[in-house]
Amino acid sequence: MSQKPLNKIGAHISIAGGIENAPKRAFDAGCETFQCFTRPPQSFQAPIVSHETILVFKKAIEDAGMKSFYIHTPYIINLASIKPGLRHTSRIIIRQELDRGSSLGATYVMTHVGSHKDQSEKEGIEKVIDSIDKLLDGYSGTTQLLIEISAGSGAVIGDSFEEIGEMVKHLDGMPGFGGVCFDTCHAFASGYDFRTREHTETLLDKFDKSVGLKWLKLAHVNDSKFDFDQKKDRHEHIGKGFIGLEGFRELLGTEAFRNIDWILETEDDDRTNDLEALKKIRDGK
């Protein structure tokens, strides 16, 4: 007998025409929850989310029967930059996203922390910790911040459990800090295999020792267009990449992953099949 599902499955949803359109768009796509941007992903500028928009959005969430949704920060965030101005702007944007998330009812805002280019990894991580400390100073909202695991390309920070763990250790207990978003494609690209039971057990043991499984709060579930440990972040549809269906069954079948929501970030062209594949895995089919 399969275990009772404890999580919801959704996808990253477009906010074209306004964020208030996202809940119905997610529902129509077969999602049980969803993730979205609140601004263009390559821009520091953000449309105003008015009180009226918030009310319409919350009504749409209620009509869709959803209990949760998530926000992703823009891709241009770099909390580790050697440029003080970019760090400052990145902090402002994340704080804005947390405040917007609290108004809209988002559970988490997730972010990539950035790159330590032109400095040491240690200096970069110190800047990230300092930046998050500053942006959460005085924060009292309901939406919490998650650090997302990265794919390991170039000088990116957060591609190893050790780096994630170091940041989490310093942020533990800080109001507004929620934990970690695990991305299957990113982890696979960074050298963490989970295509067999043995590999999955090793991965979870490493995560628990370096970070702590209690900090695992959300999963981005994407297959990979590139083979293991290639340091390339290229999402593929579920079961059609180098991770494969068995890999997802092994990882997502664990208690740690059955207790958190799964968010697809694959292209729209085959998203319906991706959602169905994940629901079958969750339901033990």
Q: Would you tell me how many other CB atoms lie within 10 Å of the CB of residue 249?
A: 16
Whichever domain contains 22, its CATH number is: 3.20.20.150
Nearest in space to 223 (alpha carbons), one of 264, 260, 280, 281: 264
The low-confidence residues of the chain, meaning pLDDT below 70, are 1-5
Query: Under a CB-based contact definition with an 8 Å cutoff, are residues 75 and 42 in contact?
Result: yes
Q: Is residue 2 part of a domain?
A: no
Q: Looking at the chain, how many residues does it have?
A: 285
Q: Is residue 1 part of a domain?
A: no
d(CA 96, CA 112): 16
pLDDT of residue 2: 47
53 — phi, psi (to 5°)?
Answer: -60, -40
User: 32 CB contacts (<8 Å, ≥6 apart)?
Assistant: 8, 9, 10, 66
Q: Is residue 114 part of a domain?
A: yes
Q: Which domain, by its residues, includes 159?
A: 9-282
204 — phi, psi (to 5°)?
Answer: -65, -35
Q: Is residue 134 part of a domain?
A: yes
Which residue type, as a one-letter code, is found at position 271? R
pLDDT of residue 153: 80
**Helix (H), strand (E), coil (C) string for 50-75:** CHHHHHHHHHHHHHCCCCCCEEECCC
Total domain count, the chain: 1
Rg of the chain over all Cα atoms, to the nearest angstrom: 18
Q: Is residue 116 part of a domain?
A: yes
pLDDT of residue 3: 53
Residues of the chain by 3-state class (helix, strand, coil), percent to 5: 40, 15, 45
- Model confidence pLDDT, tens digit, residues 33-69: 999 999 998 888 888 999 999 999 999 999 999 999 9
- Model confidence pLDDT, tens digit, residues 141-172: 999 999 999 998 889 999 999 999 999 999 99
Three-state DSSP class for 224? strand
d(CA 179, CA 262): 15
Which residue type, as a one-letter code, is found at position 97? E
Q: Is residue 37 part of a domain?
A: yes
* DSSP structural state of residue 145: E
pLDDT of residue 5: 53
State the pTM of this model: 0.95
d(CA 180, CA 177): 9
Q: Is residue 3 part of a domain?
A: no
User: 122 CB contacts (<8 Å, ≥6 apart)?
Assistant: none
Exposed, middle or buried by CB within 10 Å (0-12, 13-18, 19+), for 83?
exposed
pLDDT of residue 105: 98
